[in-house]
């Protein structure tokens, strides 16, 4: 098995230097680079189970490397850590490191010797860990045992699946596991088909604003999907407070880009809402939850004709009435979200789902607050009752966003 190493540093050049040194004696070594500035802190329950050793830089965001080292030392079953220090004072503070090396002048032989010792220690520690009587519990997710994933916590349960937080040995990081639940009263074959459809649809898409899927498998007759974890939560939580205009427009543009990628492979989302837009530490967002998505080109839909899926607050008029939907329905939902970000309230509010569906088709589009009134024409076009009056594709919307950005920059430059 190739050696797997986790490098924690803010400096890409230092990471490349370490990789160069290691490759001279472990040419098949695999690396994961964690930059705390962009990726944030590691999850508190992360045990680096997939790694033979951790290479920790002294300089990390928000705290000294020595603080990170003490934190790692307190985590059960954490692999050996090699600490790279700038001077004697920081080296003396490196409590818990297997070895302390000079950051500014790497001793190649010392690095080689230290990593070999780390690998040997890790191998012995893993043998002892696997021999523990309670080892099987680490891989239990409700009634299901899923090898290669360590249970951290249960996030929640829906009608079709249970959702857990886990550490994936394959991905080498914390992931979200969706495990297909028991059949109950729904046809188990259709539920399984819909669950697999979510992965199959996502596997066609490789885009920074679409959730990353790490694994699909079957365990104890249960299907599961392992996907990217988002420690910053979702847009629904973010809407609990005001969102500056620049941030709102950046989120809006990224969702539009995600829809362009999704629609390009012939997929409709059909349940676009703030809870399905996740936030990353680096400020980017990702679209998730394709459980009710539908391939535009498929002849036989899993859902019955006329069935209504989605969330009434964000549902297009045609979707709310069980009519045929296309990409313009997703753009309508995006328009509702844009209005909510700019107005700090939803465009339509009602006491029941049926009233909301009626309002989407019949109630005039409300006005944005005066401070954001310049974006009203964009909202009007996205929320047009008739799909023919909306943007006809996400690509057309992105082109309009670029035009508006250029106009805004020109206006700002003229005022300056």
Equal fold, 4-130 vs 140-228: no
Q: What is the pLDDT of residue 59?
A: 82
Assigned CATH for 4-130: 3.40.50.2300
Q: What is the pLDDT of residue 223?
A: 86
Q: What is the pLDDT of residue 384?
A: 97
Give the global pTM.
0.84
What are the structural domain ranges in the chain?
Answer: 4-130, 140-228, 235-411
Mean pLDDT rounded to a whole number for the chain: 88
Q: Give the whole-angstrom CA distance, residue 263 versus residue 257.
A: 10
Residue 411 reports pLDDT greater than 80? no
Percent of the chain with pLDDT over 90: 64
Q: What is the pLDDT of residue 265?
A: 87
Residue 363 reports pLDDT greater than 50? yes
Is 3.40.50.2300 the CATH number for 235-411? no
* Active-site amino acid positions: 271
Residue 112 reports pLDDT greater than 50? yes
Percent of the chain with pLDDT over 70: 90
120-136: average pLDDT: 89
Least confident of 77-81, 215-219, 397-401: 215-219
Overall CATH class of domain 140-228 = alpha beta
Hey, is 59 helix, strand or coil? Answer: strand
Helix H segments across 56-166? 65-73, 88-92, 108-130
Structure-block tokens of residue 314 = 């964000």
Residue 54 reports pLDDT greater than 80? yes
82-106 confidence digits (pLDDT tens): 999 987 766 676 788 999 999 989 9
Structure-block tokens of residue 180 = 């297909």
């Amino acid at each position: 098995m190739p050696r797997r190493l986790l490098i924690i540093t803010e400096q890409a050049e230092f990471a490349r230097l370490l990789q160069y040194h290691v490759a001279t004696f472990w040419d098949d070594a695999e690396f994961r680079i964690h930059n705390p500035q962009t990726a944030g802190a590691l999850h508190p329950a992360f045990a680096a189970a997939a790694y033979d050793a951790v290479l920790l830089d002294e300089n990390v965001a928000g705290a000294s490397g020595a603080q990170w080292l003490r934190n790692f030392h307190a985590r059960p079953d954490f692999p050996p850590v090699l600490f790279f220090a700038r001077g004697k004072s920081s080296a003396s503070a490196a409590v818990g490191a297997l070895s302390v090396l000079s950051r500014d002048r790497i001793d190649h032989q010392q690095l080689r010797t230290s990593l070999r010792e780390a690998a040997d220690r890790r191998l012995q520690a893993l043998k002892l860990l696997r021999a523990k009587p309670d080892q099987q519990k680490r891989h239990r997710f409700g009634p299901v045992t899923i090898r290669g994933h360590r249970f951290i916590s249960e996030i929640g349960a829906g009608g079709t699946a249970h959702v857990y937080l886990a550490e994936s040995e394959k991905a080498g990081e914390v992931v979200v596991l969706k495990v297909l639940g028991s059949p109950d009263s729904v046809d188990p074959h259709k539920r399984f088909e819909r669950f697999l459809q979510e992965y199959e649809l996502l596997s066609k898409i490789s885009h920074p604003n679409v959730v990353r899927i790490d694994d699909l498998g079957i365990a104890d007759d249960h299907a599961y999907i392992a996907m990217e974890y988002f420690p910053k939560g979702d847009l629904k939580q973010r809407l609990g407070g005001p969102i500056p205009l620049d941030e709102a427009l950046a989120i809006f543009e990224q969702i539009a880009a995600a829809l362009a990628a999704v629609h390009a492979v012939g997929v409709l989302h059909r349940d676009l809402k703030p809870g399905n837009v996740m936030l990353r530490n680096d400020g980017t967002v990702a679209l998730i939850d394709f459980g009710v998505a539908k391939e535009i080109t498929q002849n036989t839909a899993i859902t019955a004709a006329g069935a209504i899926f989605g969330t009434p607050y964000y549902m297009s008029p045609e979707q709310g009435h069980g009519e045929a939907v296309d990409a313009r329905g997703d753009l309508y939902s995006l328009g509702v979200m844009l209005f909510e970000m700019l107005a700090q309230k939803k465009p339509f509010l009602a006491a029941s789902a049926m009233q909301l569906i009626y309002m989407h088709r019949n109630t005039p589009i409300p006005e944005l607050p005066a401070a954001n009134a310049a974006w009203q024409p964009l909202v009007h076009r996205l929320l047009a009752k008739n799909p023919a009056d909306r943007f006809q594709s996400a690509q057309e919307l992105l082109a309009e966003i670029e035009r508006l950005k250029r106009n805004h920059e020109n206006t700002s430059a003229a005022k300056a």
